[in-house]
Structure 1
Amino acid sequence: MTTTPKLHSDDPFQLTLDKIMDLKPLDSIERLMTLLLPQADEIVARRPRSFHKNGPEIYLLKEGHFWLHRRVDDLQMSMAKAPHIFGLAELLIPVGDTTYVKFAADSEVYALSGAKAQALLNEQPALWQDVSRILAFHLHFSTWRDLHLLNDNAYDTIRGKLLELEKHDESLRKSTTILNYILGTTKLSRSTILRVMKNLTDGGYLEAQRGKLIRIVHLPLRY
């Protein structure tokens, strides 16, 4: 790699991620929390949960983080921090028990049956627009994620995951190594990830300490 590291990026891929994350519909989440929380039950954060074990469920995350996993191979598909609401897609179009969620140990999370959530929303139909906004946010992020996963270039995948990791809270970055994050969210080999990471750190493109991300200086488009 011969590109000189720069402090600011004009990379459209990174700018798109920035725009999506800035558009998280916090006002919609707050309105739905106000409606649904009084009827929800707090659950044990340490236990993985299914969206559809006993019928659709909605999860309301007030504090902490959650990870969405694909059940067939435990691949980590996405991560989000509070406040957040998830399970809405399964509420509208159930597809079965194909994914599950894990929560950070210090999370505060509540569960509500899909039937009860639908009944409450039908009493205040204007709030279905807030459901649509949250689902649109999920769709935009999933589309961005697939842009760097659905290709044959390992560097593009690693680059996308580094940008994704940078968006998480500092506390989470300090508790997760770059290697483990990418291993858990892709099908790349350990050796491939380590080789690319060594080249990036040696070239001054990112800063890491004990394998944990400190700062991205600039990630070149080509490797």
Structure 2
Amino acid sequence: MEAVLAQLREAIERGTYPVGGKLPSEAVLSREFDVSRSVVREALRGLQALGLTLSRTGKGTFVVADRPADNPRFGHYSARDLHEVRRHVEVPAAGYAAQRHRPDDLDELTALLERMEEETDNTAWVALDSLFHITIAQASGNPVFGKVIEEIRDALARQSAFLNQLGNRREASNVEHRRVVEAIASGSAEAASAAMTAHLGHVEDTLTDIVTSTRTAAPRPERRLGP
């Protein structure tokens, strides 16, 4: 997927697919790259998240910009929306969770950590990641925190999948998640808030790197794309 996205992005940036133009269908791109349509579909979602394209139901995918947007969108919310809300919700929620968690909360978080560290399927991992953050919010003892994270759950999942595919975030996230749980288990609100702040900071940094880079580091298929 990274290779397909990299070449499509480069083709858009150099004008092979101009702004206002339409990309080939999934079936055509699948044949061009000799990959499955599901791989192409994920690459197209990546282009849309970067603000390069827009998909119109029944009409296809159209190029709307020749450079990535500074503020990618994941479903109904932008990356900036998510960053701002997460810092104001998940950081204090982790602090409260350190002070108010129940033994069952730690058991559930530990079980989620273990499943995520063993999971090899990206889609399954992303679902566990969303559940992990919701569980911390619920462990805060304040149901409003949990409601807020539930509201942005789909956008968080889209962003998480995007970062894993283009930023190789899974392994680092697993380590950061464990640090958050260890801090919550310690009972220190300050340590838990700091661990969550560090995690969210790494997420933001990775997204910034992806958006600002002129091209991804992924190897590209040796294929010539036509308009």
TM-score computed with the length of structure 2 as normaliser? 0.31
Higher strand content, 1 or 2: 1
